[in-house]
Amino acid sequence: MIEVRLRTSEDPLAFDVTVRAGKGETCHRVTLSQEDYRRLTAGRCTPEACVEAAFRFLLDREPKELILPRFDLLVIARYFPEFERALPRYLDEPLP
């Protein structure tokens, strides 16, 4: 389960994300600029849904324990160059 809470609506947006799976949970602080949010989603979902989709993308590639505790959402593309190309598919997927 991925829980995303908006921490601050200033720019950049800041989120607290908790991932619960298997044994235990991990907590993460994620930022996302308003500009990047609009570019990545064209406004078709909430910022929280965008962050949740990004975490589903990450969890398909690595265990929750390897996800950085603090990062900007666009950092994902440094580790996984296909991130921005793949994100729309995760935005369109129904939540588990």
Write out pLDDT tens, residues 6-34: 999 999 999 999 999 888 999 999 999 99
Structural domain boundaries enclosing 63: 2-92
High-pLDDT (> 70) share of the chain, %: 97
Residues in the chain: 96
Q: How confident is the model at residue 96 (pLDDT cuts 50, 70, 90)?
A: low
C-alpha distance from residue 9 to each of 17, 54, 66, 77 (Å): 15, 19, 27, 23
Joined together, the tokens standing for residue 45 give 């979902």
* 20 SS3 class: strand
Instruction: Check residue 95 and give its pLDDT.
Output: 64
Instruction: Check residue 23 and give its pLDDT.
Output: 82
pTM of the prediction?
0.94
Q: How many domains in the chain?
A: 1
Rounded to the nearest 10°, the torsion over CA 22, 59, 94, 11 is: 120
